[in-house]
Structure 1
Amino acid sequence: MVNRTLIFVVNHRLKNVVNEPLTRGNSALTPANQPLKSPAMAIREIIILPDKQLRLVSKPIEKVTAEVRKLADDMFETMYDAPGIGLAAIQVAQPLRLITMDLAKKEEDGETKPRPRVFINPEILSSSEEMSVYEEGCLSIPEYYEEVERPAKVRVRFTDLDGKVHEEDAEGLFATCIQHEIDHLNGVLFVDYLSKLKRDRVLKKFAKAAKRAAE
């Protein structure tokens, strides 16, 4: 997911995080003084609309393996480089139920601290009747933004990189972002929530762009 109000944060602070050593703990990858023992992270290609892979339903992850950890590492580097605040594995052509996210927050000291998190097999347990509207963007639908209405609060269950299961209440931008990314795991795009007229326009726009690129 892309949020234009946070792009300046990603460019200013988070873009540097990919050059810092990381360690795993709880539900996040966090900067640390010790380097990873896994292979170096890599930026992967983000697939773009109208790639049909974006409509696939991703498969559950049965076990947190070294390959899953490496994929999460690569997704963070890819997400920060783009830059974005959320990324689903299917967006890098891996149909697995894995999400990376970083909703960076400005602290009291004025510093913007990275808040990278990993969600494995996330599912929404409940949604509020109250709705909220956020302007959304997507790394697989670059440079296109529209307001989308979603439940204002959701309760989410997910597994972290240590294999531990968590339940958490999400609201605000977190609620919007986790719903946006879980949609990706189910083959749903944020443009699917738009009016037929707007949806058809953007689908045609990207179909034409893909055709020109292939010529």
Structure 2
Amino acid sequence: MITMEDIVREGHPALRKIAKEMSHPITPDERTLAEDMMAFLKNSQDPELSEELGLRAGVGLAAPQLDISKRMIALLIPGEYEDDPPELELVMINPKVVSHSVADACLKDGEGCLSVDREIPGFVVRHSRITVTYQDLDGNSFKKRFKGYAAIVIQHEIDHLNGIMFYDYINNQEPFELSDDVKVIG
């Protein structure tokens, strides 16, 4: 079971490296890793379990955050209401943004990260719509469009595969400055 102790924190070299492409078929260990990453996200979003296990809530996790150089991300975005099914529950292998909107968006409250133990104020401007190619655990290839919050979460996790942290996008001089055409979400 993955816990907060397994997640590397900012300053760790794994967070600044480009992760290695994965090949199919994936190994049993890689499948277990995917299952463990998703289990962590589910546990982190369960109020009782997260408190009992000392987990911070997360909606995404990338293998490099576990000091594993593999292009794998797990995503678990809750539904709008408590009893709704998840908006997105997916493990992506070798995800890549192949196209994006001209329009940009950011989260009203900024972004956080399981690998960053401090609050970093400022807007993180990202593409508001993206098209992503990826494979599932069985090697099936997909090309899907995502928008809004899901697009932002996916870009955040893909950045981890490329050694980029969310705060790299924050304007250090004016962290809350936005152009008029950026949509603020949340």
TM-score using structure 2 length? 0.78
Deviations 1:119-139 (A, max 9, x none): 000000101101111121100
Structure 1 match to 2:7: 46
Q: Tell me, in whole angstroms, the C-alpha distance in 2 between the residues paired with 1:133 and 1:116.
A: 21
Q: Tell me, in whole angstroms, the C-alpha distance in 2 between the residues paired with 1:195 and 1:111.
A: 38
2:85 matched to 1:113? yes
Structure 2 match to 1:75: 37
More helix by share: 1
Q: Figure out how many residues of one structure are paired with residues of the other and give that number.
A: 156
Displacement of 1:198 in angstroms is: 8.2
Displacement of 1:144 in angstroms is: 1.8
Structure 1 match to 2:105: 132
Q: Tell me, in whole angstroms, the C-alpha distance in 1 between the residues paired with 2:78 and 2:118.
A: 21
Q: Which amino acid aligns with 1:125?
A: V
Over aligned residues, Cα RMSD in angstroms?
1.8
Q: Tell me, in whole angstroms, the C-alpha distance in 1 between the residues paired with 2:30 and 2:80.
A: 30
2:22 matched to 1:61? yes
Q: Please list, as runs of the form range in 1=range in 2, the aligned pairs for 1:72-111 lying within 5 A after superposition.
A: 72-79=34-41, 80-81=43-44, 82-106=56-80, 111=83
Q: Tell me, in whole angstroms, the C-alpha distance in 2 between the residues paired with 1:128 and 1:51.
A: 32
2:139 matched to 1:180? no
Q: Tell me, in whole angstroms, the C-alpha distance in 2 between the residues paired with 1:83 and 1:132.
A: 22
Secondary structure, in 3 states, of the residue corresponding to 2:132? strand
Task: Check conservation: 1:88, 1:181, Cα contact below 8 A.
Answer: yes
Q: Percent identity?
A: 34
Q: Which amino acid aligns with 2:31?
A: R
Q: Tell me, in whole angstroms, the C-alpha distance in 2 between the residues paired with 1:83 and 1:150.
A: 22
Structure 1 residue runs of 5 or longer lacking an equivalent are 1-41, 200-215
Structure 1 match to 2:50: none
Q: Tell me, in whole angstroms, the C-alpha distance in 2 between the residues paired with 1:143 and 1:198.
A: 19
More strand by share: 1
Q: Tell me, in whole angstroms, the C-alpha distance in 1 between the residues paired with 2:99 and 2:173.
A: 30
Structure 1 match to 2:47: none
Partner residue of 2:142 out of 145, 149, 166: 166
Deviations 1:64-84 (A, max 9, x none): 221111011121233333320
Q: Tell me, in whole angstroms, the C-alpha distance in 2 between the residues paired with 1:92 and 1:112.
A: 29
Structure 2 residue runs of 5 or longer lacking an equivalent are 45-55, 176-186
Point out the structure with max Rg over C-alpha.
1
Deviations 1:35-80 (A, max 9, x none): xxxxxxx115100011121001000111222111101112123333
TM-score using structure 1 length? 0.68
Q: Tell me, in whole angstroms, the C-alpha distance in 1 between the residues paired with 2:13 and 2:27.
A: 27
Q: Which amino acid aligns with 2:137?
A: L
Q: Which amino acid aligns with 1:173?
A: Y
Secondary structure, in 3 states, of the residue corresponding to 1:111? coil
